[in-house]
Amino acid sequence: MSLSPYVPIIGLFAIAAAFALFSVASARIAGPRRYNKAKLDAYECGIEPSPEPVGGGRIPIKFYLTAMLFIVFDIEIIFLFPWAVSFDLLGAFGFVEMVLFIAAVFVAYAYVWRRGGLDWD
CATH code for position 86: 1.20.58.1610
How many structural domains compose the chain? 1
Domain of residue 73 covers 57-114
pLDDT over 70 (residue 1): no
**Do residues 108 and 72 touch, judged by C-beta distance below 8 A?**
yes
pLDDT the model gives residue 14: 97
CB within 8 Å of 83: residues ≥ 6 apart: 90, 94, 98
Report yes or no on 7 lying in a domain: no
Question: What pTM did the predictor assign?
Answer: 0.46
Report yes or no on 24 lying in a domain: no
Mean pLDDT of 86-105: 89
Neighbour count for residue 90 (Cβ, 10 Å): 14
Report yes or no on 6 lying in a domain: no
Report yes or no on 65 lying in a domain: yes
Looking at per-residue confidence, does 106 or 73 come out higher? 106
Report yes or no on 52 lying in a domain: no
Cα–Cα distance measured from residue 15 to residue 20, given in angstroms and rounded to the nearest whole number? 9
Per residue in 39-80, pLDDT (tens digit) is 777 666 666 656 665 566 666 677 777 788 888 888 888 888
